[in-house]
Structure formats: C-alpha cells, structure tokens
Amino acid sequence: MSQSAAMAPAGSLVLRVTLAAILAVHALHQLFGFFGGPALGPGGLTASTTYYAALGVGGAFYFVLATGILQLAAAVLIAAGWFARPAAGVQIVVEVLRIAFDSARWGFFLNWALDPTRGHGIEFGTVVLAILTWLVLAGAGDWSIDGAKARSRASLALGRARLRERI
C-alpha cells in the first residue's frame, strides 16, 4: 500500500471532524447563543429569528429552528461518519439557503475589514459547500461507522462467495 493511500483515511477523518466542529459551533450559536460576542452577535433563537426576519425570510423562527437542528444533527452524524452522505446532502441545502438569504448580497469575500455596515460574502459558504460535496461524493472514509459497515458487508459477501465455491 502506498503512503498516500495509507494516509487517505486520516485525511478524511481530519476533514470530517473539522467540518463537524464548525457546523456544531454555528448551530449552537444560532440555537442557544453560545460563542456570542461583538463580531458574531448575541445569537440564540430570538436574535437569529430577528436577523432572518429582517432579511425578509418568511417564517423566520421555523427557518432558524429547522436549520439549526439540522445543522447540529449533521455535525454529529458527520463527525461519527454515520449516515454521513445523507447528512451532508441535507446540509448542502441548508448552506445554499443561508447563502441565498444572506451572504450572496455581500459578494464573494468575507468582511476582513470588519466593517459594521456590511456582512460576509459567500467565501466561507463556498468552502463549506465544497467539503460537503466531497463528503457526498466520496463518503466518510475508512475510519468511520459508514466505512466499518461497508467493510463488514464486503467481508460477508466474500464469505458467502467462498461458501458457494465449496458447495
């Protein structure tokens, strides 16, 4: 086995867990106000609902609640590598909605100057979408629950094939 092939599971694990941590922190801020501060705002359901309602999102409370819960659930599933592809697929929809409702109006780049009169562009959301797309296409990797299940299925199939050869 080549060195790069041996490192692929480790790379998948690092990328998956890092993405999950980012998704979890954002969901916890949106739902409960954790990690609030001057750059991010107070967070929580009330503040997040007010923010999205001001953007013209109909049913802002339900949008915030649904996207926050979906994002937190996706973070847990992606970190464990359990149903990672469907979780990433759902999270792609959530991220596209967030970009459409908020980030797209600010252009591409993040607000590096921290100008209080403007928000962040789609730069961060684009990176998150790329990682989520990779996860949907490639799967969670060998070092995941999904990977273990796939290896188990393959092993069972090989065992059945050997039994058929003997019969």
With b for 16 or more beta-carbon neighbours within 10 A and e for fewer, the 64-83 pattern comes to bbebbebbbbbbebbbbbeb
The domain limits of the chain are 7-166
Q: What is the pLDDT of residues 59-108, one digit of tens each?
A: 999 999 999 999 999 999 999 999 999 999 999 999 999 999 999 999 99
Structure tokens at 156: 């069972």
Confidence check: pLDDT of 4 > 80: no
Q: What is the pLDDT of residues 99-129, one digit of tens each?
A: 999 999 999 999 989 888 888 999 999 999 9
For residues 19 and 132, is the Cβ–Cβ distance under 8 A? yes
For residue 152, the model assigns a pLDDT of 84
The length of the chain, given as a count of residues: 167
For residue 114, the model assigns a pLDDT of 85
Helix count and strand count (H, E) for the chain:
6, 0
- Closest to 10 in 3D by CA, of 139, 142, 138, 137: 142
- Closest to 85 in 3D by CA, of 25, 20, 134, 38: 134
More confident residue, 35 or 137: 137
CA distance 160 to 164: 6
Confidence check: pLDDT of 164 > 90: no
How many beta carbons lie within 10 A of that of residue 36, not counting itself? Answer: 14
For residue 1, the model assigns a pLDDT of 64
Structure tokens at 63: 């949008």
**Sign of the C-alpha dihedral, residues 134, 135, 138, 141?**
positive
For residue 58, the model assigns a pLDDT of 93
**Sign of the C-alpha dihedral, residues 74, 78, 84, 88?**
positive
